Structure formats: structure tokens, C-alpha cells
Structure 1
Amino acid sequence: MVQGTTSDAGKSVLVTALARILYRHGISVAPFKPQNMALNSAVSADGGEIGRAQAVQAEACGLTPQTDMNPVLLKPNSELGAQVIVHGQAIGNMQAREYHHFKPQLLDEVCAAHGRLQARHQVVLVEGAGSPAEINLRANDIANMGFAEAIDCPVIIIADIDRGGVFAHLYGTYQLLSATEQARVQGFVINRFRGDVSLLQSGLDWLEERTGVPVLGVIPYLPDLHIEAEDSLNLRQLTDAPEADTGARLQVVVPVYPRTSNHTDFDVLRLHPQVDCQFLRDPADFRGADLIILPGSKNVRGDLQWLHDQGWVPVLQRHLRFGGRLFGICGGYQMLGQRIDDPDGVEASAGTSPGLGWLDMATRLTGTKTLRRMHGEAISDTLAPAGTPVSGYEIHTGESTGPALDKPLFRLTPVDDPRGQALTDGALSADGRIAGSYLHGCLDEPALLQAVIDWVLDQPGQGHDFDYARLKEVSFDRLADAVETAITLPRLYQLLELETPSSC
């Protein structure tokens, strides 16, 4: 099990790296996280919802994501509450205190899921959450040492030296563990180190002498490494004020509201050589764009109100008057309609909110969540030439209806039910400048992304061939190479009690 001294210490990245290393050496390996709190999620092959990080780690293992890889997922929808998802299905909303008392009922569930993975794979790599030294969360813990104790699992603790205070983080975390928890710690790992490792040696010696725990490796800082983020936007990704001219052919802005979900939809745009994709919170920082994308949301009516309160709506109106394009994904798509009804308080308080009114449709939120992986083709020549392949996944509550749906974007079938009924998705405005879809990840499809760039720039055939899937594979291997150098293969096999290959 990999635990961290803080959030964003590198737990997800280290599990991804170790998974890729073992996969490359022919070991059957699977990722696991007992409890995840994240607004980035994915749809598993068995029709459930899991944290995005575990889906990415499954890719690194050469596996299709399964709900057993993340049996408990919390999706915050207010400052004090979250939707609780168990084995891929939402069971309701809970306030923080209510969930804290509910956790003991979940321990058997997460242990059972872990056991099923163990039965199918040689190695299961477990990722913790936050820090095991959060004293206020120690009771009823199922995410860190509570889980490790329940399944008798050895632990590695990782810290990010780029944050500063790395020895205080590691030593302090270790000292705050109980004696039995300290006994499970088999090693420390230092992440994101810049410079000459020999200059760190005196600190490493001090830490090992004080704790009796070896430092397994120092992972270097890897510039421009892309591994999809587990949770909310990294503050470094937010832009205070975009530069006037970045040299990119396409300027994209994504407003970031408080409950933005699945911002990984836009990783392909941030990495595309022709695109300058900016995440903005403050509309005062808006300097113009070719395309504005309204992202998904875990609280659609609340985030729509935030757009009004912050002054984004006049910005969107002016953008459209000047000929800009507007695209909504999932919750952002729902916002483009005439009305959003939540009569049962599925996401927050019950009520109705007027939409932005640019698509003639209305959305009614219900307790049933749509979870499915989809593929198909474009059927609107405006956004993309008919027949352009498209794929992605749906994660949404509610259903949209209205005349706008008579001009859909895509014809789709479920990936996991190839004989299932073909469905249409999305809508396009009469003038062809506003579009929306429920399909997360649709821009990852190279041909569709090229077509969307052509649509925005109104220049057919000008898209750039950019293979995002290939970039992810290269990133997995680059990360694995660095970690395998820092934590040698014989040492890793020893930790996992695997027979070391003769080639090592």
C-alpha cells in the first residue's frame, strides 16, 4: 500500500509507475483504492463509477477498469456533503459527520473487493487517501492505516520534496502512527526531487537512523510529464490572465466553477500543439477566445448560479455576439438549455433554475444515474463530418428533452453491449455555433478533435493530427523508467515477495 504525507504527495503517480513497471515485466497487477474523494470519475466495464485515478492506473496495467478497483467513491456536492458511491452505484448524499459514522459498515465491503482482485492477480497495489496522520480521521478509517491493518498490508510512505519540509513530513507522519502501524512501514519514497541526489544523502541517513525505515528511492522531478489528475484542478493549471498571443491557432477557455467535474476532458486540449487552453475562475481575466467550453458539474444548478454571480453570463453573451463558439459537456450541456428541474433535491436543494436559454431543451434531474461507455459516429456535418468516429463515457443524472434534440451530434451504442439499441446524443443550435453533449472524453478521439478545431476556426481540413492515446502510453513508460531507476527492480520484487528474475 502506498500512503502519502499529504494530499498530492504522489501516491497516484507512484502506484501508476509501479503498476507499469510490473506490467512491463509480465506480472499480473491491478490497482486498488478503498475510498476515493474526487470529482474526476470514470465508468467501469461492469457499469459502475470509480475514481479517475484508478481508471488511469488500470490502463497502466493493461486492464479495463472495474468497480472492485475503487469500491467507495465520494463526490463532493457541497462544502459539508458528498454523494456516496458504493460498488459503482450512488446510494445517496451524506453530510461529513453522517458519513464518518457510516464508514464502519463499509470496511467489509472494501476488504471483499480487495480480496476479489487478489484472487485474480499476482499483485494488488493499494493507494491511500490524504494522509494516515490525520488524527481526526483515525477512528473508523478505511482509507489508510485502518485498511492496511484490516488486510495486514505492508506500507510505503511518499512525500513531495517540491513542497518543502520533506523530512518533517516523513518523520512527523511516522511519529504520529501507532506502534503497530509503524511496524508496517517498509520504506519511504521522496518524490519530485530536482538537482544532485548526493546533496540529499545526509538527510536520508538522518531519517533512516531516526526511524529505522529505509529510503527506497528518490524520484526525480519529471518536467512536462502528463498523468491524468486524480481530483480537482491543480492550482498551477489555473490562469490568472492569459497572455495576449501564445502562438496557438486555437484559443480555448474553460470557466472553472466550484463543483467542476471531470476536468480531464480538457487534458487533450492543454497538450495539443495547436491549442492554448486556459482554465479561468475570474471572468475579469477573460481576454477573448475562439471557443468557450462549459465543463461538467456535480451541482449543476449551484454552478449555474455561480456563473451568474461571478459575471460570466455577460462574458458568454459577448463571446457569442462576436462570433465565438460555445460547447457544453454533461452539466455544462444541461446549463445551455431553457430550464433545469431538480424536484427531489438530487444534487442539492429541490427546485428549478432557468438555464442559459441557448438550446431549446429542458433537463429534469432524477435519482437514477446514467453510467455507460459509448462509441459511435458523428451525424451532424456542422460539428464534424458525418461518420467521424467518436467515443467516451456518460456519467449524469437526469434527462434532457426538447426540440433542440432533433439536431443531435452523435449516434452511439454502448461499448459493453454491442447489440444494444443505438442512441442519439447532444444538440446543436440553429446557427451552428452552440453545441452540447453528455459524452465525457469525446475530445480524446483524434478525428473528432480535429473536426471540432475545424468547426471552431471555420476552416475545414485545418485540424492537426494529435494522438492523445499514444502520448499517455509514452508518459506511462517515461514515468516507469524514472521510478525503476530510483527503486531498483530487485528491491521492488523483494518488497512484494516476488521471485526476482534472473535477468535482474
Structure 2
Amino acid sequence: MNLPEHGGNLIELSKRVGCNPKEILDFSANINPLGFPEWLRPFLHSKIEDLISYPDPNYTSLKNKIHSKYKICSDQIVIGNGASELILQIPFVVKADYTLIAVPCYSGYKEAVSLRKIPCVEVILKEEKQFRLDIDEVRDVLKSKINQKALIFLGHPNNPTGVTLDKIEILKLAQEFQNSIFVIDESFIHFCTKGSSFLKDRTENMILIQSMTKILALPGLRIGICYASSSICSNISKRLPTWNVNSLAASVYEKAIDDENYIKNSKQNIQIWKEKLIYDLSNLEFLNPFPSNTNFILIKILSNINISNLVQELLTKYKIAVRNCENFSGLSKNFIRIAVRIPEENEKIIDAFSNIFYGTRQKLKFQKKTPSIMFQGTASNVGKSILTAALCRILAQDGIKVAPFKSQNMALNSFVTLNGEEIGRAQALQAQAAKILPDVRMNPILLKPSSEKKSQVIINGKVINSMNFKDYDRYKSIAFEEVKKSYDSLSSEYNVIIIEGAGSASEVNLKKSDIVNMRMAEYAKADVLLVGNIDHGGLFGSILGTMETLTEWERKFIFGFVINRFRGIKELLKTGISYIEEYTNKPVLGIIPYIKNLELPEEDSLEFKSRALYDTSILGDKLDVVLIDIPRISNHTDIDALKAEPDVRVRIVRTAEDLGEPDILILPGSKNVISDLNHLYDVGLADKIFALSRNQKTDIVGICGGYQMLGKNIFDPYCIESNQGHIQGISLLPIETILEKIKSIKRVFATHIPTKTEVEGYEIHHGKTKSVGNTHVILLNEKSEELGHSDSTGRIWGTYIHGIFDKDQFRRKYLDQIRIRKGKAPLVDVQVSYNLEKSLDKLAKHVRRSLNINLIYRKLGLS
């Protein structure tokens, strides 16, 4: 007997094409396109230790679970190595005179009957009746052999037609012909939105076969269940070998029985995708798709094309596998069967059909995404931001029009675009690396923590509100729509997008509402490079641990790994690299050596708070500059230009004891000025700063929030930062500030009056500050607006301008004033150009020679 081949033999199919089996888009096997449940991988790991023992030969735990769920006694249950193993046993335990099979059908029925050599009667499922079973025809056959016992095989739903049985009529038939045995194969019942199972209505003369491996997307697991009378089950069990099902398969099936949400979600999604696929197939005049109640579709080809040639062309030209139904009994030779897959893949087979028959491609309804690479991390502070900037610069150097993107950034270091929109400082740097202007679309969501529980939520550069975690979690679905709009708009203007994730990709507690890591990768169709920081130790464990928390659909996006901040001999990593590559089947694309003195702004305060940026060098002849560290410090990058100067040492001070008598003290910006000023009072720093103002030696500089702190009073009538309402400032400048509802966000170009030099930067603040005494205006913009004040000595001054020290001429003139006051000779000439271009080029060169750029370019479709 010539039985049809089963679908899903990717090894054989890949040999015909000469490709990797993973490259084949398999429509020939009817497997859940959503992939297996998220709980599967960790669950399997938890059961590995069970493999040291033999399985329970009676599968007691699984049978007890079935009994608990469906009230079926254990003696009416048989566990098999897949539904096919159980089907093959049935003709040997049921002493039938003949078999009745409705065709076309699953080839396993005929295979089982042929092994037992029982006469077989075929009932044809007629095409003109949409392949529905004609109950009267079955009844007539049974009546014509009324004194003989029939063994009847019926698919519910049928394979390959996808048509379910009329349950009421089948139950009547079983009742009418009690001497016959009805085998109801429900291997695909879990996909059906119509047609309920016979499980609770099974009659004594009925054998029910089920298998969840298809709905679980685990055909390789091999487990099926037979429900029948105790005598039939006993006889089937005797024919099966002991331990025919491994313990992992039994445990997974037991676990899956309770996962009703997974099955419900799968049904709903597949039904929607199937309806759309059938509609698209129907619009191609040479195809006739038949209605289906499950996850596959039978298609009649309405042309003279040879079906085998069609199947071969789909495979070799498009790497698409479909089920050739030429050998199915009951079908003519012009049928194929295809599975329902995810929408993008369904579009591909529609496109292939159109091209084969019309010679032209249909316009894909799924717009092809702009090529993209995404950096995700095993943890925060592993170097995602810097690597994103590096790849942007490398692509820009090679003439590729590239832009950076990060859907959501939580950072207190922000930047203002030319349009007055606030984005993360890191995305501004990445834009500069890409040699383009910063754009709010590069960072549509910015979260700025204002307390332990709340963050200011900035959408598309504008403040929406302050929210706690729960409020923002509920708001995320709305926010993600804005992210998608920004990404689509930005990506439409560039050839490549380099995306940065946030934190760790392994935050299982945050996955449900993720909009910045794998969900963003899914939306952008981005290949993900997982970055680990070996400088912190535990690299290989962090990579493997992250991979183990990823679901199967998430793992598919992982392109490879990047080992960052390596110090030492690379050969020492060989064993570890081989281990993770073998364990994950993903490559390590690069080992990036630690790079010193890069002189690029840090993304946020993680590195800053870690003390890694502290300068502990000997002061010598340098100027002693102190930055006061406060809990809600923002834009600490304002000191980066000073740190680059050869005659400056910058100290970061947190306690009054460490303060000393610096030449310059800088009070930085703050996301919560009132809270941070309270902190300065509590730790004694406010008093120390006030005392320094009397020493005639120290310049005291306040930037943004620090500027407000230097004044007499800060009022918060709208409770923007706290419920305190008011706090007294350090009172070093006769100014007062009111925190307004409207946030001032703008780029600034101004003149520093004492040095007559130009400065530029940006303002980000809620405060409105005015002079209430004898102050000197030291900064004016082109509209003659006051942007900074000093006391009468000029030693105590403040401004709202972030980036005040970035201009080389102003910085040198200011530092020379301090040098002269200390009796040192001015250096006059600019000592260092605070030009990030050189640092970005240095970074790009460093990463280019350490990362497999050629492979990344091929992944992006670049030559």
C-alpha cells in the first residue's frame, strides 16, 4: 500500500533545497504557530532531575490529573508515545470483521488496518458537500453488514479537510450500532472553535484519541492519550512496551491540562489568522480553499499545473513546504494542504502563489520593516548605549543613513532638541554618532524618577504627568502606540535603525507589559545582540541565565552575543565561549576590550553612583573642582567638559567630611530640588557650602536645581515635587524660585557677560526664578532674557543652562580666572577641545576591530 508521506520532515526537505532546515517555512505540518507555552522551558529544567529514575510505568500522576479534570477513571486511560502509536494498536485489540474509514483521512488509520489485514470499506467525503461526513451513507454500510462488527475510524476534525463531525449524529449512530466500535481521533480538537470534544459524552463502544502536542507546538515530545472501556484499555496496554512514554513528556502533558488560557488564546489568534488566510487565498482565482474548523486548510488548485511541480517550486524557489495531497485516497490529484501560521508568514505564501501563477508579486499587506539591529543587555550598565552609538558611527562612516532608537528611557540625564523636546541624553549622543540631529522620535518615552515611587512621564518630548509604577503600567499600552508611531515615522526616513533596549532582557516580572525589549524587537523585526559586561564578573552565567528566561519566540530574535569591557587575554575565554555557543546555538559576535578615557557622557547615574567615575589622582598643580552628589542628581554630565581639562581634577563629594576647600564647587541639577535640598541640610553639606562662601577662595556654582538651591526660597504651590510647599534655600544669592506647572524646555544660546564669550546648552526646569535683591546678571540670550545671576563678588553664581561648560573658549577663560585668583599663570590657549566627534571616532574604531561587522552587515542586508 502506498501511504502518503507525513508533513514536517524538514531534514529531508532541506536536503532537496540544500539549506539549513531552519530556513524552511513549514506549512506542511499543522503545529501551533504561536509556539510552545512560556512555562515549558523552565518547567523542563525543573524536571531534568527526574531523568535519573525510570518513569512510573503506570503514569499514575498524569492519570490522576486527568481523573481530577475530566472524571475519567484511570483504567479507562492509556498513555501512548503519540496518537499514532495508540491508533496502530486498536485493530489488534478490537476483533472487528471489517473497518470503515471516511476518506480522505489521516494515513495512520489505513496503516493500522493494513497491519492487521482487516477488510476495509471506504466512505468518500464528497467535495461538493464540503467534505462533510454523510451519516446516512455510513448508516447504510453498517446496516448492510448488520451481523458483522465494524471498526470505524473518524477524524474530529478530519485531516486533511479540517471538517468536524456532527456530534449529535455520531452519538446516535454509536447508540444504534452498539456492536461496532467508533474510533474518534481528536488530535486537532484543541484548535477547534466549533465542534466540541466527545470526551464527556464518550459511549462504551467509542475509543477516543487525543494529543496535545500539536496545540502545544511540541510534536517532538510524542505523547497521546486513549480513552476507552477498561477492557480495551487493558488490552492496548498489554501491547505497549513498559515505559513507552518518557517522564518529561508525561509531566508536560500533566502541566498543560490546566493551561486553559494558553489554549484559549491560541484558538482565538489562529481563528483570526485563518479567516484572513482563507480570504486571501480565495482572492486568487486559481485557488479554492475549503472551510476548516482547525489550524489547516485544504486547497484545490484550479489550474492544469502539476501538483508535484508546484510543491517543488514552492520549496526550491521560496523555501516553503506544503503538504502534497496527491496520494490521499478520496481526493483528486490537484489538492494541497497548508497550515495556518503567523500573519507575516501567511503573507509570504500568498505572495509565492501569486508570483508562480501570475508572474508578479502581490503587494505585501505587511509593510517590510526597515533593517534593524537591537542591543539588549543581561543587566543594566553593560554598555548598550555606548555600543549603539558605536554602531551608529560605524554605519555613518560607511555611508549608511542610520538613526538610533530607544522606545523608553529611564534617566535623569536628558537633552533638549532644537524643537524644544526632551529626550534621553544617550539618544542625543547616538544621534551625533549617526551624524544627524537629535529627534524626539528617537526616544518617544522618557521617565525621570522624582521619588522612590514616582516618575515624571514624558511622551514625545512633553510632560504628561507624574505616575507611580501601577499607574504607568496601566498607561503602557497607550504609550506603546506612541512608540510604534515614532518608530514607523523615524524608520521610514532611514536605511537602518539601531535600537537600544533597557535594563535586562531577563526581567520576567516586567515582561507582561514590556515595551522596550523583546516586544520592541518583535515590532521592529530587529535582530538582537545580547550584551554582557565581563568586567562585573559572572558573564557566562548572566548570558545563559538570560537565555533561559526567554520564551521561544523571544529566543528567535537573539542573533548572537557581545562580550563587553574585557580586560586580559582573549584566549582565556575560549572554553566559556564554546560552552555558551554550544548551549544556546548562538554565536559570540565580538569581544570588546575595556576602553579607557573615552570621554563620552554617561547615559544615567548608574556608573556615576557606582563611584567608577571618581578621580582619585593626586591634585598637584591642578584646580580642585567638587561636584556635590545628591540623591536625585540630574545631568551630572555638565562636568564632563571640565573633567577633560589637563589642569582640573574633579571630585565627587557626598559627605561634609570629604568636602574640603575646593577651588570650584558645583551644585548640580536635581529632579527633586526640595528633597535634595533637605538631604543637603540633613548631611551637613548645606552648612559647609555656606561656610565656603565666606572663604574668599571657592567659586560656588549652581546649575538648574543647584541654582535654585543657592537662593533664598523655593516655593512649590502646586506640589510638583512634594507636599512640603516651601523650603528655605542656602541663601547665597538673593533670588527666589516658584515651581510652575509648565515645564520650560528649550535650547539656549547666550553670552557670558563677565568673559564676553558665547555659551550654549539647554534648559529643563519647572522653576521660575527672579532676583529679590542685589544680584548681577551674568548671562543673557539674544532676547536679553536673564539666564543667570551672581553675587557682587562674582564667586557665587548660578544658571539654568545645562552644558554651560561645553564651549571651549568660555571654559578656558573661566578656569584661567580661577588660576589667576590662586596665583597661577593663566594657560590662555584652549587646552582641550571638548569635541565628542573625536571620541566617537575613537569608539567606532575600537568596536569595529572587535565586532564581527561583516556578519552584522549581512544580517542587515548590506553588502
Q: Is TM-score (shorter-chain normalized) higher than 0.5? A: yes
Q: Helix, strand or coil: the match of 1:136?
A: coil
Matched, 1:424 2:786: yes
* 1:236 equivalenced with 2:236 (yes/no): no
Instruction: Give 2:525's aligned residue.
Output: 152
2:147 is aligned to none
Q: Which residue of 1 aligns with 2:478?
A: 105
Does residue 258 of the first structure (1) align with residue 258 of the second (2)? no
Deviations 1:268-305 (A, max 9, x none): 11221100111111111123201111000000111111
Of residues 418, 429, 434 in structure 2, which corresponds to 1:56? 429
Rounded to whole Å, the distance in 2 between the matches of 1:405 and 1:59 is 41
Q: State whether residues 290 and 457 of structure 1, in contact with CA within 8 Å, keep that contact through their aligned partners in structure 2.
A: no
Are 1:76 and 2:436 counterparts?
no
* 1:41-89 Cα shifts (integer Å, max 9, x gaps): 0001221100000001111111111110100000001011110000001
- In structure 2, the residue matched to 1:434 is 796
Matching of residue 290 in structure 1 with residue 677 in structure 2? no
Q: Does 1:301 align with 2:636?
A: no
Map 1:68-467 → 2, pairs under 5 A: 68-232=441-605, 233-237=608-612, 239=614, 245-323=618-696, 324-379=698-753, 381=754, 385-386=755-756, 388-403=757-772, 407-413=776-782, 421-459=783-821, 461-463=826-828, 465-467=830-832
For residues 162 and 475 of structure 1, the distance between their equivalents in structure 2, rounded to whole angstroms, comes to 21
In structure 2, what is the Cα distance between the partners aligned to 1:405 and 1:31?
47
Higher relative contact order (CA 8 A, sep 6+): 1
Identity of aligned residues (%): 40
State the Cα deviation string for residues 85-122 of structure 1 (Å, max 9, x = none).
00001111111121112111111110111111111111
Instruction: Kindly provide the amino acid, as one letter, of the partner of residue 213 in structure 1.
Output: K
Residue aligned with 1:451, SS: helix
How far residue 228 of structure 1 moved from its aligned partner, in angstroms, is 1.0
- How many Å separate the matches in 2 of 1:104 and 1:410? 43
Distance 1:463 1:291 in 2: 19
Q: Does 1:33 align with 2:33?
A: no
* Secondary structure, counterpart of 1:426 in structure 2: strand
**Aligned equivalents of 2:586, 2:453: Cα separation in 1:** 37
The 10-residue stretch of structure 1 (7-16 or 216-225) with the greater mean CA deviation from structure 2: 216-225
Q: CA deviation at 1:467?
A: 3.6
- What residue identity is the alignment partner of 2:457? V
Query: For 2:556, what is the secondary structure of its paired residue?
Result: helix
How has the CA–CA distance of structure 1 residues 464 and 308 changed in structure 2, closer, same or farther, with 3 Å as cutoff?
Answer: farther
Q: Report what 1:10 is aligned to.
A: 383
1:245-284 Cα distance to aligned partner (Å, 9 max, x none): 5224311111101001000000111221100111111111
Per-residue deviation at 1:447?
Answer: 1.1
Counterpart code for 1:236: R
Find the aligned partners of 2:585 and 2:694 in 1 and give their Cα distance: 66
Kept in 2, the 8 Å contact 1:361–1:405? The answer is no
Aligned residues of 1:239 and 1:280 also touching (Cα < 8 A) = no
Superposed displacement of residue 234, structure 1: 4.2
Give 1:442 shift.
1.1
Moved more, 400-409 or 24-33: 400-409
Q: Distance in 1 between matches of 2:553 and 2:403?
A: 26
How far 1:350 sits from its partner (Å)?
A: 4.7
Distance verdict in 2 for CA 1:40–1:434, change over 3 Å: same
CA offset at residue 424 of structure 1? 2.3
Q: Secondary structure at the match of 1:374?
A: strand
Q: Residue type of the partner of 2:392?
A: A
Q: CA deviation at 1:138?
A: 0.6
* 1:464–1:347 CA distance, 2 compared to 1 (3 A): farther
Output one character per residue of 1:194-222: Cα deviation in whole Å (capped at 9) or x when no partner.
12212211211111111011111111111
Flag the 1:29–1:234 CA change in 2: closer, same or farther, 3 A: farther
Q: Which runs of 5+ in 2 are unaligned?
A: 1-373
2:852 equivalent in structure 1:
488
How far has the Cα of 1:405 moved from its partner? 8.1
Cα distance per residue 1:384-416 (max 9 Å; x no partner): x22x11111111112101245862111214xxx
In the alignment, the residues of structure 1 paired with residue 774 and residue 385 of structure 2 have an alpha-carbon distance, to the nearest angstrom, of: 39
Structure-2 separation of matches of 1:282 and 1:350: 24
* 1:474 paired to 2:821: no
State the alpha-carbon separation in 2 of the partners of residues 337 and 234 from structure 1. Answer: 27
CA contact (8 A) 1:427 1:437 kept: yes
- When structure 1 is superposed on structure 2, of 249-258 and 459-468 the one drifting more is 459-468
TM-score (norm 1): 0.93
Q: Check whether the contact 1:107–1:147 (CA below 8 A) recurs between aligned residues.
A: no
- The offset of 1:431, in angstroms, is 2.2
Letter in structure 1 aligned against 2:534? I
Corresponding residue of 1:417: none
Which region of structure 1 is more displaced relative to structure 2, 65-74 or 349-358?
Answer: 349-358
- Is the CA contact 2:711–2:734 (under 8 Å) kept in the aligned structure 1? yes
* Alpha-carbon distance in structure 1 between the residues aligned to 2:839 and 2:474: 40
Q: For the structure 1 residues 51 and 248, does the alpha-carbon distance in structure 2 shift closer, same or farther, using more than 3 Å as the test?
A: farther
Q: Structure 1 residues 171 and 249 mapped into 2: Cα distance closer, same or farther (>3 Å)?
A: same
The structure whose Rg is larger is 2
CA distance in structure 2 between the aligned counterparts of 1:156 and 1:239, rounded to whole angstroms? 30
How many Å separate the matches in 1 of 2:743 and 2:832? 31
Offset of 1:153 from its aligned partner?
A: 2.1
CA contact (8 A) 2:711 2:735 kept: yes
Question: Are 1:28 and 1:122, in contact at CA under 8 Å, matched by a contact in 2?
Answer: yes
Moved more, 397-406 or 87-96: 397-406
Distance 2:624 2:778 in 1: 23
Instruction: Indicate if the aligned counterparts of 2:581 and 2:587 stay in contact, CA closer than 8 A.
Output: yes
Q: Measure the CA separation in 2 of the matches of 1:8 and 1:493.
A: 26
Question: 1:418 maps to what in 2?
Answer: none
Q: Please give the alpha-carbon distance, in whole angstroms, between the structure 2 residues aligned to 1:86 and 1:347.
A: 19
| Cα distance in 1 for residues equivalent to 2:394 and 2:445 | 26
- 8 Å contact kept, 2:736–2:772: no
Structure 1 match to 2:62:
none
Q: Secondary structure at the match of 1:273?
A: coil
Give the letter aligned to residue 130 of structure 1.
G
Aligned position for 2:369: none
Query: How far apart, CA to CA, are the structure 2 residues paired with 1:358 and 1:114?
Result: 46
My pick for the range that moved more, 166-175 or 96-105, is 96-105
For residue 512 of structure 2, give the secondary structure of its aligned residue in structure 1. coil
Of the structure 1 ranges 459-468 and 62-71, higher mean CA displacement relative to structure 2 is found in: 459-468
CA distance in 2, matches of 1:457, 1:170: 50
